[in-house]
Amino acid sequence: MSEMRRVTAICNGTAIDHIPSGHALQVLKMLRLDTGRSNPISMVMNVPSGKMGRKDVLKIEDRELNQEELDRLALIAPKASVAIIRNYHVAEKRNIELGSELINIVRCSFSNCITQNSREPLPHKIKIISADPLVLRCSYCGKNQDIDQIVDFII
């Protein structure tokens, strides 16, 4: 519980717990919250965790993450716990589920893939080959994606 004292409780918004240690900044980027015009965000990194050894925690004020955003989160923090906070209480717990295909969430990183032409209008599609360990493959060109670089290819 020591990490809970590091940041104050939020009135309304979303708390994301059990983010793999050191990945909170990637989560913010993935959720497109890494801008100066985003909502107030509190972040703790590398705090002790009974379950994970160390973990990161994010609290995003006045913003309830939707399912599409949770799907994005699944790419780097599939075991994170997400709580929607309303009036200082946990109003809902949301599960992160990785579906079978990601539509227009990340684009293929392979330089010779047909989807590299930004004028091609069909959606970017990435298949989930395996959830643990995470293996992603472009549905068009069949190339496996580098999971460590995936955050750079977020749409």
**In terms of CB distance, is 36 or 121 closer to other proteins?**
121
In this chain, which of 22, 53, 99, 142 binds other proteins, going by CB under 8 A?
A: 142
In this chain, which of 41, 115, 126, 151 binds other proteins, going by CB under 8 A?
A: 115
153 touches other proteins (CB under 8 A): no
In this chain, which of 36, 37, 93, 122 binds other proteins, going by CB under 8 A?
A: 122
For residue 45, how many other CB atoms are within 10 A of its CB? 17
114 touches other proteins (CB under 8 A): yes
121 touches other proteins (CB under 8 A): yes
Residue with tokens 């799907």: 71
Q: What angle do CA 134, 142, 120 make, to 5 degrees?
A: 110
Residue ranges in 80-109 that form contacts with other proteins under rule CB under 8 A: 108
Q: How far apart are CA 124 and CA 49, in angstroms?
A: 36
137 touches other proteins (CB under 8 A): yes
Q: How far apart are CA 85 and CA 15, in angstroms?
A: 7
116 touches other proteins (CB under 8 A): yes
Q: At a CB cut-off of 8 Å and minimum separation 6, what does 153 contact?
A: 106, 107, 108, 109, 145
Phi, psi of 110 (to 5 degrees): -75, 125
117 touches other proteins (CB under 8 A): yes
Binding site for other proteins (CB under 8 A): 108, 110, 112-117, 119-122, 137-144
